[in-house]
Amino acid sequence: MYGIDVYIQITYNTCMSKTINISLPEDLVKKIDMLAKGEYASRSDFIRETLVRRIKGQRIVDAWGDEGEWESVADFREINAGGVPAEDVLQALQKLTKQTD
């Protein structure tokens, strides 16, 4: 059985939704679709949730408290786009560590 919060959300989504049309660049739509698929959400659900978070001033934070702003220090696709053995990853990281010491 659903809790009251879920019931209110279902009712709100059913009764209070309004369809709007917006134009977005094709590459942005592809990125939205990719991210939505990764969250098992529809495009509309993903956009709706993202807008609500933005309006509320919320940021997506991962399990480590990181907001997802990462710097690329090694692109393993340069080694092999199809996948990289763990040994190659370790060697690349060891080289990187030696360069920063």
pLDDT digits (tens, 9 = 90+) for 35-69: 888 888 889 988 888 888 888 877 666 555 566 66
Question: What's the structural domain count of the chain?
Answer: 2
pLDDT of residue 29: 92
Residue 43 lies in a domain: yes
State which residues form the domain around 93.
74-101
For residue 56, give the DSSP letter: H
pTM tops 0.75? no
Compute CA distances 94 → 78, 87, 100, whole Å: 17, 10, 10
Does 56 share its domain with 81?
A: no
Max avg pLDDT among 31-35, 66-70, 73-77, 93-97: 31-35
